[in-house]
Chains A and B, each alone.
Chain A
Amino acid sequence: MSISAIKNQEIKALKTEPTQLILIISFLIACLYAVVQGAAYRHQQTDMTTTFIAEQNKSIEVWRDRLVAVDNGTTTEADDRWAGLAMDVSFPAVAAPGPLSDLSHGVSDVRPHTGRLSLWRSVDRLFGNYQVQSPIDTAAGSFDLAFVIIFVMPLLMIALSYDALSDDKELGRLGLVLSQPISVRLLVLTRLRVRFMAIAVILAVALAIGLVSGATDNGGISERLPYFTIWFLIATSYFLMWAAVITWAISLKLRGETTALLLAGIWIVNCLAGPASLSATAESLYPTPSRLAFLSEAREASNSAYKSKADIMQGMLFDHPDLTADNYSIPEYIRTAFLVTRTVDQSVAPVLNRFDEVQAERRDFLSIFQYASPAALTLQAFNLSAGTNLERHLRFERSVRDFKQMIAEEVERNVLVGQRLTLTEYDNLPRYQNNEWSIGQVIEKTAAPIAFLLIIASLLGTIALKNLGRLQTRILEP
């Protein structure tokens, strides 16, 4: 029996064996569903952010037009005393959907990616209105391509290949097969190559479709390609790792049933028990401050500031006598609102910083212990390259808060003196820009996980090849 005969036999089995066929077709459907669903998700996210920006800009334009009218004398200040009111300055802040959010949803479904910066809102309310999504949906998690690759793919690889050697042994035909001019190593590797290739081809097709279908006007194929290449490398490394694990398990020459159990056990520890234990440990070791306590803190600060607004105002004017206005024509409550909001911002800042610190501590913990579960490692790397990781979202939220602080400082004088902004002053105000990681930074952060998966694959692959070599000698020994 030659290599090509084995190969042909395997291909024929894949095409005709009902169980294998059902498994492969199911995998194909799962991949395509994940890709189509993912593309719809990304398009929806893009539409949402585009609509949000458009709506915000529309009201900002109306506001600016009134300012222009006063500035060029079309309207008198008396006719529109609210035109150019510094307190009403408002800007949209958006984190565009991650470049590959269709392939790996990450935390993009539970963290805000739009915020309306307004001086009327304290920082704890910048992202308030986004929590109407279905809890059933959120709890179940996403059926994206990352899920299919991390969960489904290894199981399919196991189901298709666990008996690559044991079947011959259990049916008593191994000796007969090896009487042909072929080694055990070559026999097993040829069989596995064909079986794994079927999965790899389906994945490659799904990924190619995903690359195209997830592209949007704001993130076309060319913008996605560098991130996609990294994502593809991670997927390939994970695939190779599983291929090596399975080859190693087969090389132990256990009974088919035991090989299947061993591999299922590895899958469960890697995909379920490992990540669950890791997340529980990280969250127990580094608990976040209480959200409810944070809410109480913000309300208490707001109430205290409201009650002592006269003192706050006095304090401000004592520090900045230059801000005393004699002809203040803007209602008092606007100045009060500005100062109250600022006081709340200052009060909750330490708690918000603590939230960020805890997340950083958890990140540090997981950056080490994630290697205990390649599935967790792969998921984090997928999310990172897809732009849907927690760190990116936290960075966005922090930058919006900082931006609000910056705008408040810029217009503070105008608000307190009750002086409208001029058009030049308004146009010179900075606009929000979300600073994304460069592709170089993404490569830097995903290099270690990819290398780790490849090292595991190489190590186990080498051991498996040695085992298979030794097996040849043992089987042929009289």
Chain B
Amino acid sequence: MIKAILWKELLQYRRDGRIVAVLFITLTLGIAAALNSWSSVQNMQRERLAAIKTDRTIWDNQGKKNPHTAAHFSRYAFQPTSSLSVFDPGLGDYMGSAIWLEAHYRDPATLRNIEDAVEIQRFARLTPAWILQVFAPLLAILLAFAGIASERERGTLRQVMSSGVSPKQLFLGKGIAALCVVALLAPSVVAAVVLSVSTHDEIELPSADVRLFGIVASYAIYIAAFTFAAIGISARVSKSKTALIALVGFWAVAVIFMPRLATDIGSNISPAPQAAEFSAKLSSESSSPFWGGSDEAIARREQIEADVLRQYGVDTIEDLPINYDGYLLQESEEFANGVFDRIYDELWGAYETQADIVRVFSIVSPTIALGNISSALAGSDLHAHRHFADSAEMFRRDFVRLLNEEMIEQGGKDGYAYMADNDFWQQNPDFDYQPPTLSDVVSKIWMDMVILLLWAFIAYQLAFRGVRHSFKQEAMA
């Protein structure tokens, strides 16, 4: 019986020009989005590789230079773009792609792609994930809104009942038919996946296959939730027209407005600091208490001097077997690192509180939960960026320490006049970034997964009970 309903529904969909048109447009957009996104990710990966190569060449060939001068020039860490970003670029365009690893200072990532975007890109970005998040639910609504209501309006529901169809069979028949049609959007997903796989990934995301499966499963659950909700509403209201308006209204709120409104509320409740204020705080708290002329700074430097003299068992700095300037520079780094940790924790904390506030709104918008899951699995979310930024910072500390140690050990009495050469630069390591593991990622998005599953479960219940309810009503009428 389910099969018969399924075939009847599919036939009806095929005859409906509106559905064919919407499907065709969405599919075309999806394929265009996949190609556009693929080309963009390929460019980013190519540019990153070229930038890494140039950075190394410049570093290796900088000639004779004091290690501390070199530490000011330093190197850059370039954020990798995962191949799965072809499917969902997430926050990639909104986060800086390069971090300067200079001495004395922890810099935020710079060079955001959004700065080169045209104004209207702020409306919407043509990516496969966006197409599926926005258009797939709309297609599901279009397919299912009239499912039960129109049967009732036309008086065919009674006929269906009299032929022995159970509510469950009707629900499954209509639900599966709608899902089959939405699944036709799969070519755009497949195109994105094929292009992802064909994109050379210079840094392999751990468990990429499982991530891909997770993405596909999440979208399937999301679309199923909208389909069930559409059937449920269709079964509860008296007219298909009312179902359509209610569902399109819900779609607009859940998919378009709520993600934007929730973020706006989140950033009002937990605002990120202003750039100038942040930069000033970072400089003043990391530098002045160490290098400044305050009593605190002078006492700190005197203490360091006393400690190092005691450690080497000498009375004056001149008697030290090491270069004291280099030693003091490294001590200043150690002091500043604690300050950077605190200030950056506050910054990331503000972002993460925003993300938590936004997550609360996923109770009314499954799109928020799906967006979080999708970008996290694609390695393009906030946590991926933080992981990269923190790893780069660890590398910066090691790298600056390496340069300071060169000055401490080799600088002797020359101090700032000591010059290292290309032989030394060429021995210095590169930043070798390892992205977070899948379990790290899942630990950040498990709540979103639960919320998405809850949405699907509630929508299923709404649909199933709705169909049963409409059977009862029809029987009583």
Contacts and interface: CB of A to CB of B under 8 A. Distances in A.
A binds B: yes
Interface string A137-165: 11111110001000110010001001100
Contacts of A237: none
A48 B117 contact: no
B55 interface: yes
Interface string A303-336: 1001100000000000000000000000000000
A302 B93 CA distance: 27
B450 interface: no
Given A279-B124, A292-B47, A292-B78, 7 more contacts: A143-B260, A260-B245, A268-B135, A295-B51, A296-B50, A296-B58, A379-B119
Interface string A356-371: 0001001000100010
A134 B267 contact: yes
* 7 tightest A-B CB contacts, nearest first: A140-B263, A292-B51, A135-B94, A276-B124, A279-B121, A296-B54, A275-B123
Contacts of B279: 129, 132
A278 B241 CA distance: 32
* Chain B contact residues: helix, strand, loop or mixed: helix
A455 B272 CA distance: 44
A23 B245 CA distance: 12
Interface in A364-400: 366, 370, 373, 375-376, 379-380, 383, 389-390
Interface string B250-294: 001000110111111011100011111011000000000000000
Contacts of B252: 155
Interface stretch (A107-115, A175-183, A200-208, A428-436): A107-115
B117 A283 contact: yes
Given A135-B91, A141-B260, A295-B98, A283 B58 contact: no
A268 B138 contact: yes
A136 B29 contact: no
A110 B121 CA distance: 12
Interface in A1-48: 23, 30, 33, 37, 40, 48
A176 B462 CA distance: 39
B274 A48 contact: yes
A71 B283 CA distance: 32
Interface string A248-284: 0000000111101100110010011101111110111
Most chain A CB inside 10 Å of its own CB: which residue of B95, B126, B382: B126
B108 interface: yes
Contacts of A155: 249, 252
Interface string B103-134: 00000111111111111111111100010001
10 contacts: A131-B110, A132-B279, A138-B114, A147-B260, A265-B22, A275-B123, A284-B36, A306-B73, A355-B116, A380-B119
B236 interface: no
Interface residues of A, number: 86
Contact of A143 (B32, B109, B264): B264
B238 to A, nearest CB: 12
Best-surrounded residue of A48, A276, A278, A375 (most CB of chain B within 10 A): A276
B412 interface: no
Contact of A137 (B18, B122, B267): B267
> Which of A163, A277, A291, A302 has its CB near the most chain B CB atoms (within 10 A)?
A291
B211 interface: no
A210 interface: no
Secondary structure type dominating chain A contacts: helix
Interface of A: 23, 30, 33, 37, 40, 48, 51-52, 55, 106-107, 110-111, 114, 128-143, 147, 151-152, 155, 159, 162-163, 170, 255-258, 260-261, 264-265, 268, 271-273, 275-280, 282-284, 287-288, 290-293, 295-296, 299-300, 302-303, 306-307, 355, 359, 362, 366, 370, 373, 375-376, 379-380, 383, 389-390
Contact of B249 (A128, A159, A290, A379): A159
Nearest to A379: B120
Given A48-B276, A135-B351, A260-B244, A279 B126 contact: yes
B124 A272 contact: yes
Nearest to B76: A295
A40 B268 CA distance: 10
Interface residues on B, range: 35 or more
Interface in B226-259: 240-241, 244-245, 248-249, 252, 256-257, 259
Interface string B85-108: 000000101111110000000001
Contact of B120 (A273, A296, A380): A380
B347 interface: yes
B437 interface: no
B388 to A, nearest CB: 12
B19 to A, nearest CB: 10
Given A137-B267, A141-B260, A302-B73, A296 B55 contact: yes
Contacts of B25: 273
Contacts of A132: 108, 272-273, 275, 278-279, 347
Contact of B50 (A147, A276, A292, A376): A292
B4 to A, nearest CB: 26
B434 interface: no
Nearest to B96: A131
Interface string B453-472: 00000000000000000000
B354 A390 contact: no
A379 B124 CA distance: 13
Given A140-B263, A277-B32, A151 B278 contact: no
B272 A295 contact: no
A134 B122 contact: no
A168 B42 CA distance: 56
Contact of A140 (B241, B249, B260, B385): B260
